[in-house]
């Protein structure tokens, strides 16, 4: 049954660890043969060259019921007008029962800076927003769509630079935590002038990711002590 997910048109999130960084990008299956999977990138910008031949990757397939994952190896890649990578087809997929990183709901400041391809835009404006939740893999954001410049249109799979400012947490993070990471818009929901956006971190230093996780853990401990923690799945 799970093998049926490996079909043309299926979105797949690839994750790879390289040079002390964690890379995550969204691809779509163009062709699925008994031995190989041919994927093209949905994440904007040049991302294929990161996945060198022989690289080991972890792949995630989300479904309305649960997410599945499998490990594979890059067998071929090509950058340019027609960019793609070829993965070895896995023998099996296994379900991911829970989030790999626990999520905390907390209001915080987030600045969004769109990343454009070379030659597209001389200057990227900062968009003021606020985060609603965060974990080691991404952040949820809300903003007033009227704050988006009229010449700019946010869209799924667009890359953004994120400047995230998390509030202080007692002794663990008395000054709070401010981080800059690169992310990708996974989904957008509009309700009147309000815009909700789900963003995954696509390029983050491992140590920085560990700092975010440590902040989330410290915040969780604070809420537990106050009797305010509600488990997030």
CATH for 104-226 is 2.40.10.220
The least confident of 29-33, 169-173, 209-213 is: 169-173
Query: What pTM was estimated for this model as a whole?
Result: 0.81
> Tens of pLDDT along 142-184?
999 998 888 788 999 999 999 999 999 988 899 999 999 999 9
pLDDT bin (cut points 50, 70, 90) of residue 230 is low
pLDDT band at 209 (very low <50, low <70, confident <90, very high): very high
pLDDT digits (tens, 9 = 90+) for 193-207: 999 999 999 989 989
- Return the domain boundaries, the chain: 2-96, 104-226
Domain 2-96 has CATH 2.30.110.10: yes
Strand 84-88 relative to strand 36-41, pairing: antiparallel
Supply 21's token pair.
């960084």
Q: Could you tell me if 184 and 160 are in contact, meaning their C-beta atoms sit under 8 angstroms apart?
A: yes
Same fold, 2-96 and 104-226: no
What is the predicted pLDDT for the residue at 101?
65
Rounded to whole angstroms, the Cα distance separating 47 from 69 reads 21
């Amino acid at each position: 049954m799970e093998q049926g997910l490996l079909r043309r048109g299926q979105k797949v999130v690839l994750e790879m660890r390289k040079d002390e960084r964690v890379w995550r990008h969204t691809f779509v299956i163009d062709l699925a043969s008994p031995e190989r999977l041919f994927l093209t990138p949905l994440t904007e910008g040049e991302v294929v060259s990161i996945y060198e031949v022989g690289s080991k990757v972890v792949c995630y397939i989300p479904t309305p019921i649960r997410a599945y994952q499998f490990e594979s190896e890059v067998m071929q890649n090509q950058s340019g007008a027609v960019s793609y990578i070829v993965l070895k087809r896995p023998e099996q997929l296994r379900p991911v029962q829970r989030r790999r990183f626990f999520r905390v709901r907390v209001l915080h400041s987030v600045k969004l800076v769109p990343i454009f391809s070379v030659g597209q835009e001389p200057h990227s404006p900062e968009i003021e927003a606020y985060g609603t939740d965060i974990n080691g893999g991404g952040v949820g954001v809300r903003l007033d769509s009227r704050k988006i410049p009229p010449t700019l249109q946010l869209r799924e799979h667009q890359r953004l630079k994120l400047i995230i400012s998390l509030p202080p947490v007692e002794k663990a993070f008395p000054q709070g935590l401010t981080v800059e990471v690169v992310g990708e818009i996974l989904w957008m929901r509009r309700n009147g002038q309000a815009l909700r956006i789900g963003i995954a971190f696509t390029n983050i230093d491992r140590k920085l990711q560990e700092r975010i996780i440590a902040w989330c853990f410290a915040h969780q401990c604070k809420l537990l002590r106050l009797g305010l923690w509600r488990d997030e799945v």
